[in-house]
Structure 1
Amino acid sequence: MGNFLTKNFVWLLAAGVGVYFYKQVDEKSKAITKPIGNFLAQVQFAINNSGDIKYPNAGFFLNSEKLDYTLKVNNLVWFDAIEKLHPAHKVFLDEIFDSDKRLKNQYRPLLNGLVDADSIQTVKKG
């Protein structure tokens, strides 16, 4: 084994340096390409006269599978998507979740049901 390391030390070192530089370039390229991709998407929206998909009516289904056993959001992609679908959703989410994105106890009845202005008011009234 010692003979193998002695003969191939340079190649092993080169491979390690290559992996290090690859990871550095990969992280930096993501920082550069994401804004470019967002810009190109906006250009395409302008050309096609389209945009992000928005819900016509405020309200969403609060699926219990999106929360863990402590009722904390376990799927941040879902949370962000719901927030972006309608401007009122941010207000709803801020109302029913605390700063740790955990469902407030008083809003447990909304689990697996529709969350909208009416259902939130119903829960508040008790």
Structure 2
Amino acid sequence: MFRIIYGAAPAPCSLDTSIDITDGTHLIDGSIYFRGIHYERSEHYFDNVTNTERGCICKKRKCMQKCCPQGQVLRSYGKKCINSSIPFDPPIWDKYKRLQKSIGYFDFHYIYKITQCTKGEYL
């Protein structure tokens, strides 16, 4: 007697930590090349809800949560993003000490989630 169970394999990352790589170059080995990044088969998946191929960007680049899009900051009250001309250059810590090197905006992949930002967080 055989029993067949149908089900999808779990995604290798969450929707929040992935990007749409549908338009990437699909290679014969099942990997995908998108915007200079090569995603192995274990680093991407097809999302049936969004109907897109999703690449696990946080497995390829360092990810950082940011409350507001580039060029905006979180207002200290009301949880609303407002335009700002202040350069984005947050302090970055390496375990116990602050790194002296200034980072660039494009050194990270940003995950925008204003719902998880609290009063006093301005990134």
- TM interval, shorter chain, is under 0.3
Greater per-residue helix proportion: 1
Greater per-residue strand proportion: 2
Normalising to structure 2: TM-score of the pair? 0.22
Higher-Rg structure is 1
Normalising to structure 1: TM-score of the pair? 0.21
